[in-house]
Amino acid sequence: MVPHLATAQTGPLLDLEKKILEATPAIERWFRLEWQEHTPPFYCSVDLRNAGYKLAPVDTNLFPGGFNNLPTEMLPLTVQAAMAAIDKYCPDARNLILVPETHTRNPMYLQNVARLMQIFRQTGLHVRLGSFSPDVTEPTPLALPDGNMLVVEPLVRSANGRRVGLADFDPCTILLNNDLSAGIPAILENVHEQSLLPPLHAGWALRRKSNHLKAFDEVAKKFGKLIDIDPWLVNPLHSKCGDVDLRENVGTEELADNVSALFSKIKKKYKEYGMKERKPFVILKPDAGTYGMGVMTIKDASEVRDLTPAQRARMSVIKDGVAVTDLIIQEGVPTFESIDDAVAEPVVYMIDRYVVGGFYRVHAERGIDQNLNSPGSQYVPLAFAQQHAVPDLKAKPGTAAPNRFYVYGVVARLGMLAASLEMERTDPNPEVY
């Protein structure tokens, strides 16, 4: 199944697909050489937007929480990729602790946790759940929608203070599926004898999207040179505005000026590509944070000055009540893909350097220029069922599912490579990472 691409402006994108398919050997060799120099994130997911005139990542998540939405056909490949990832850090690993989000009563999220446990058990690991939440003081059962149960247990520090485990369980590896938005818990600091994945500076307590976007600028330029395209075709324009307090109306004028400047750059690109009818928009989002919180579509700089008190309040606080002071202004990339007349965007999942599947995030109540990662979204995993198929070089651009999904995988891996560079450059202990 290939979702309907509802746009007549498919020329640039079809040309991009054609160039990527023709350059496949060069692209794969380039990635292979990059992974000799850089360590890929343990796992990640990348949200893409297919606008017909460009295909670009709009978010890279280093603590992906939707593994339950992947098609079951992709599980064997997922297990193989997980084996490769574990081998890098602890080849003789026997035990793994998975640390989930603290809001573990969410049934959809619990299904993701169960799927991750299933994947890592298949790699030959004993897997148990550990939590640093003060509310978890003893083994706590969590009910899955199918009637099965998970058990989460309190993390404890070893007697020598150098290891983290459970009361009767000493792991080689601690895998975080908690994005640390609320801060880094003391129990996870100064862990010297185990692999802590992803590293603590990947969490939103320290991570900043602006660092990722800078790294992606570099990756997109290299990729553009490799296959002879304008990097803009895979990279949204962006800028950062700091020292903003929308609730108190501090920094609003500077933010509006920055929004206006980015609109000018976007319009210049639209003019270059002959898109006279296209109306640009930008996305305001926090420099740190996830779950689609604090995200707003802006179609004119004046809207920034005219935000309502309710809008200011929504943009001022994100997950776990963290205040927002730095904002990213990102070129809006509309999605022209749809499933059953509902707008859709592809989400690609990776473990180590391998694409392991994906799904379409679909939202019937959102427009092509709005954030789809919000309540009411649904997930269609069937779209990537053919992802393992070899691209068909003879197919007409835009018509073959394997070709579309291969292109998605390439652009998603650009996001993964940028995350790798980002993690290297922001690592507080580079000699350890």
Q: State the CATH number of the domain containing residue 303.
A: 3.30.1490
Greater pLDDT, 407 or 388:
407
- Residue 429: φ, ψ to 5°: -130, 70
Question: For 52-70, what is each residue's pLDDT tens digit?
Answer: 889 999 999 999 999 999 8
Rounded CA-CA distance 341/27 in Å is: 34
Residues 73 and 189 placed together within one structural domain of the fold: yes
**387: confidence class by pLDDT, cuts 50, 70, 90:** low
Q: Please check whether residue 74 lies inside any domain of the structure.
A: yes
DSSP class of residue 384? G
Q: What does pTM read for this prediction?
A: 0.91
Q: Please check whether residue 431 lies inside any domain of the structure.
A: no
pLDDT at 250 exceeding the cut of 60: yes
**156: confidence class by pLDDT, cuts 50, 70, 90:** very high
CB 302 within 8 A of CB 294: no
What range defines the domain where residue 78 resides?
69-205
Residues 369 and 419 placed together within one structural domain of the fold: yes
Helix then strand count (H, E) for the chain reads 9, 19
Q: Quote the pLDDT of residue 269.
A: 95
pLDDT at 228 exceeding the cut of 90: yes
Residues 272 and 311 placed together within one structural domain of the fold: yes
Into how many domains does the chain fold? 3
CB 163 within 8 A of CB 156: no
Question: For 290-340, what is each residue's pLDDT tens digit?
Answer: 655 678 888 988 888 887 777 777 776 665 566 777 889 999 998 888 777
Helices marked H in 70-208 — which ranges? 75-89, 107-122
Burial class (CB in 10 A: 0-12, 13-18, 19+), 25: exposed
How far lies 345's CA from each of 4, 46, 258, 369, 423, in Å? Answer: 11, 11, 27, 11, 26
Q: What is the mean pLDDT of residues 216-233?
A: 97
**236: confidence class by pLDDT, cuts 50, 70, 90:** very high
Residues 122 and 195 placed together within one structural domain of the fold: yes
Rounded CA-CA distance 82/118 in Å is: 11
Residues 142 and 176 placed together within one structural domain of the fold: yes
CA angle 277, 280, 282 (to 5 degrees): 170
Residues 411 and 370 placed together within one structural domain of the fold: yes
CB 304 within 8 A of CB 259: yes
Mean pLDDT of the chain: 86
Question: For 329-384, what is each residue's pLDDT tens digit?
Answer: 999 998 888 777 788 888 999 999 999 988 888 877 676 666 666 666 778 775 45
Question: Across the beta sheet with 195-197, what order do the strands follow?
Answer: 140-143, 149-154, 126-131, 95-100, 173-177, 195-197
Q: Where are the beta strands (DSSP E) in 221-375?
A: 238-241, 282-286, 296-298, 327-331, 337-339, 342-351, 354-363
Residues 84 and 186 placed together within one structural domain of the fold: yes
Residues 292 and 402 placed together within one structural domain of the fold: no
Q: What is the mean pLDDT of residues 37-45?
A: 97
**1: confidence class by pLDDT, cuts 50, 70, 90:** very low
CB 288 within 8 A of CB 294: no
